[in-house]
Amino acid sequence: DQQVKQNSPSLSVQEGRISILNCDYTNSMFDYFLWYKKYPAEGPTFLISISSIKDKNEDGRFTVFLNKSAKHLSLHIVPSQPGDSAVYFCAASAWVGSSNTGKLIFGQGTTLQVKP
Amino acid sequence: DSGVTQTPKHLITATGQRVTLRCSPRSGDLSVYWYQQSLDQGLQFLIQYYNGEERAKGNILERFSAQQFPDLHSELNLSSLELGDSALYFCASRGSSETQYFGPGTRLLVL
């Protein structure tokens, strides 16, 4: 059962344009969401996160939007740069009982290619 | 640099063998998480330790075990290795925030 889904395996955009990466989830208990960027043979690098009490969080060129009713989040990168080319993972964590252990459930990833 | 270190970077071994992967968390972080990334399964949570105690378990095989030591470094032990255990193994550490910071990973190849 894939609780976090990234339905687009790949995305190609032109340098300077907007990149929009999407993520859907099924578990309504998820209360914290994160985006990671990953290069081959390296560990995931944290990009940006959002709590379920917010609908938007912005950090420089990166903005994450959360639509709780649709169980959908998206990462916007504006403007896109060739150095942004990597695999992007969304991840979610949930409270279980009275604690949040923080274990992350990851989507399958979307490979972003930004063309010069 | 996330501040999380993992050794070794690469490991090649044979089926049936036992290996130990090591992780040092960021300074001050009490939580350590282990994840496995295989080609067909994506990033899967294995186990979490907090200040030396096991806190949560995921889909970790019985052949695998982990521990966290008083200095907060953690080791993941994989035994009776099978071909299907070949994967990237990541550890991550977490402090007071919700964010986990990942190490560079250990690439395990079982021949």
**Average pLDDT along chain A:** 93
A43: nearest CB among B45, B58, B104: B104
Segment B34-63, tens digit of pLDDT: 999 987 778 999 999 999 999 989 989 999
* Contact residues on chain A for B87, CB-CB shorter than 8 A: none
- Written as one letter, the residue type at B10 is H
Which range (A30-39, B68-77, B81-90, B93-102) has the least confidence?
B93-102
Tell which of A42, A99, A103 to mutate to test the B interface (max B CBs under 10 Å).
Answer: A103
